[in-house]
Amino acid sequence: MRTPLIAANWKMNKTTEETRDFIIQFSPMVKDINNVEILIAPPFTSLAVAAKYLKGTGIKLGAQNVFYERSGAYTGEISPSMLKDCGCDYVIVGHSERRQYFHETDAIINKKLSAAQEVGLSVILCVGESLEQREEGKTFDVLKTQVSRGIEGAQPAMLVIAYEPVWAIGTGRTATPEQIQEAHGFIRNMLRETFKERADEIRILYGGSVNAENAHTILNIEDVDGALVGGASLKPDSFIKIIKAKGAMK
Ligand code: PEP
């Protein structure tokens, strides 16, 4: 039985003060939530303050990106061990915004995944097709390429996949339950081919305009093990509703 994971991707939002205020308000709301792992991924600049205020809450901390080298002359980059040092448990790699705006390829993403797992960080690998690719009937080809190249050499115990159709991110459009189940089922089969029975340890999250209103439907789809949430994770009130759509109370 996989523990559901509900993860907040704050993207380039929140100062250190806003991060602190969110956690002070949010953490009492989840103290009675059972059976759901909760993760917050703030910007790099808020990791230290988030680690301080998350201490003892059970809420996990993640980063939104990482570089694959251990140290050295890589101006502006952050290494996996620096994230560990800040108190991170997770890192997101391959988000579509990084693929699109920062030209990250599957090869780069795979190097990031390996380097992160090497220091004990769990990795959320994001995959998903663009609208154009879906309309051209290429969804499964895209998923096949992104998943197979992304997970090369990965350790299943420290791996989470997030299926995020690019056309559903930040647009208010969500995939239908049928589209989500079809994609998740496809990814699950791919994971089984690679990792055999260990594939059952890997959670597959859905991401793309998940909100308080649609969370219940999405999180109850058979092969959905949780959600990666952008916009609706920025306010404690909406994020908690998504968590409660999945979590049982103690
Ligand atoms: C995301 O950035 O991963 C995401 C799913 O964003 P949103 O929920 O805002 O669509």
5-9, 68-72, 244-248: least confidently modelled range: 244-248
Which run of H or of E encompasses 117?
helix 106-118
Which residue, among 80, 36, 77, 75, has the nearest Cα to 62 in the 3D structure?
A: 80
Write down the pLDDT at residue 250: 38
DSSP3 helix / strand / coil % (the chain, rounded to 5): 45, 15, 35
Which residue, among 195, 211, 196, has the nearest Cα to 244 in the 3D structure?
A: 211
Which residues' Cβ are closer than 6 Å to ligand 1?
9, 164, 169-170, 207-210, 228-232
Ligand 1 atom with the shortest distance to the CA of 211:
8
Active site residue 95: yes
Whether the predicted pLDDT of 170 surpasses 90: no
Give the residue-averaged pLDDT of 48-69.
98
Looking from the CA of 17 toward its CB, the CA atoms found within 13 Å total 0
For 108-157, what is each residue's pLDDT tens digit? 999 999 999 999 999 999 999 999 999 999 999 999 999 999 999 999 99
Confidence bin at 34 (pLDDT 50/70/90): confident
Domains of the chain listed by start with CATH number: 5-244 (3.20.20.70)
Write down the pLDDT at residue 248: 53
Give the residue-averaged pLDDT of 154-163.
98
Catalytic residue among 97, 104, 129, 164: 164
Distance from CA of residue 198 to its chain's centroid?
20
For the stretch 172-203, what's the b/e string if a residue is b when 16 or more beta carbons lie within 10 angstroms of its beta carbon?
A: eebbebebbbebbebbbebbeeebeeebeebb
Distance 231 CA to ligand 1 centre (A): 6
Whether the predicted pLDDT of 249 surpasses 60: no
Asked whether the beta carbons of 154 and 146 are under 8 A apart, the reply is: no
Give the residue-averaged pLDDT of 211-223.
95
Average pLDDT of the chain, as a whole number: 96
Residue among 209, 218, 234, 235 whose CB has most ligand 1 atoms within 8 A, to mutate? 209
For the stretch 140-150, what's the b/e string if a residue is b when 16 or more beta carbons lie within 10 angstroms of its beta carbon?
A: eebbeebbeeb
Name the DSSP class of 172: S
Ligand 1 atom 7, closest CA: 230
CA dist 84 and 62 (Å) reads 9
Confidence bin at 174 (pLDDT 50/70/90): confident
Ligand 1 atom with the shortest distance to the CA of 171:
10
pTM higher than 0.95, yes or no? yes
Question: Within the chain, what is the greatest distance between any pair of CA atoms?
Answer: 49
Residue among 210, 211, 213, 234 whose CB has most ligand 1 atoms within 8 A, to mutate? 210
